[in-house]
Structure 1
Amino acid sequence: MSATAQAADTPLSEKQRRILEYLQSNADEQTYFKSRLIGDELELSAKEVGTNMTAIASGDYDIDVEKWGYSSSTTWMVEA
């Protein structure tokens, strides 16, 4: 079984589910997301967002997530 399939089989935590839903609802209007700003919206720290984004990025969901940059906060490129 591939790492992607394993990640998709693993249920998301509450924080990961909230982050995924946020990204899904905003990916059509926006491509780049900073961990700090996602955290502000979801009342999480930038570190909590970054830690949980790896599970979303490696999972098989209806969005593609890629770590993009590090200026003032990790930036994620998200495509629907």
Structure 2
Amino acid sequence: MTIRDIAIAKLQQLPESFLPEVSEFIDFVIQKHQSKIADARIPDDMAKAWAQWFEEVDRLEVTTNQPESEFKLQ
């Protein structure tokens, strides 16, 4: 019996009320591993370039523009 067969056999023994929780957990595990795969695909130099860009943007001075003329609603 494979691990898949064992897991399916356990699922079949669970009460119906447990299945939504099991399904959510399966979704969580899938998402967790997909995130790791996606992170592994980003080359180090690209990650460093983006990190540098964010650092530079964070250092930019933010100024507010003053109105050029007074506009009044009547």
Question: What is the TM-score normalised by the length of structure 1?
Answer: 0.25
Structure whose CA Rg is larger: 2
Question: What is the TM-score normalised by the length of structure 2?
Answer: 0.26
Higher relative contact order (CA 8 A, sep 6+): 1
